[in-house]
Amino acid sequence: MRRLHLAGASLREIADALRISHQRVHQMVEEAGGTPGWKPRRKPPAPACSFCGAVQTDPASLVAGPGVFICRSCVEFSTEAITEAKSLVDEGASAAVATPLVCSFCDRPAAEVEHLLTGPGVRICDRCVRFCTEIVDAYLG
């Protein structure tokens, strides 16, 4: 099939002549090495933490949200930042800020959460930080 295709026959013509699907001919030609100028499928990039940008070689070391990831270090940092922010609130500093931002993990608006930490284009609320901490403790040990 690959030779027929290299000789000029289209994948559809080959499929019609052999009475098989076009997709199957395409798979067979691809398995045989493709054609000149054939671009192999690219491997997807390794997932990276949406907060610090660190690329993780082991995807299991990330906690995933809808299109966002957070690594163990950022979960720990977020937990510390929330603890520090709570102590500031206890001392009388105001933490309430009107903002249209939402958590990148759960889509809760800032007005509905106690704390909202921001990274470069991503945000995580205190509830999601607690949940991610539980995941890190249970699965990533």
pLDDT confidence of residue 129: 92
Q: DSSP state, 43? A: P
Q: Record the tokens describing residue 18, joined without a space.
A: 């052999």
Greater model confidence, 122 or 34: 122
Can you list the pairs that 130-139 forms with residues at least 24 positions away whose Cβ atoms lie under 8 Å?
132/63, 132/70, 132/75, 132/78, 132/105, 133/75, 133/79, 135/63, 136/63, 136/72, 136/75, 136/76, 139/60
Q: For residue range 14-49, list pLDDT tens digits in order.
A: 888 888 887 888 888 777 776 666 555 667 677 889
Cβ atoms of 35 and 29 closer than 8 Å: yes
What residue numbers does the annotated binding site for Zn(2+) cover?
49, 52, 71, 74, 103, 106, 125, 128
What is the predicted pLDDT for the residue at 56?
Answer: 76
**Which of 68, 64, 65, 66 has its CA nearest to residue 50?**
68
Amino acid (one-letter) located at 68: V
Task: Say if residues 109 and 101 touch (Cβ distance below 8 Å).
Answer: yes
- For residue 4, pLDDT over 80 is answered with no
Give the mean model confidence (pLDDT) for residues 115-126. Answer: 88
Binding residue ranges: 49, 52, 71, 74, 103, 106, 125, 128
pLDDT at 8 over 80: no
Q: What residue spans define the domains of the chain?
A: 2-31, 59-140
42-92 pLDDT, tens digit per residue, is: 676 778 899 988 887 776 788 888 889 999 889 999 999 888 887 766 555
pLDDT of residue 128: 93
pLDDT, average across residues 106-122: 88
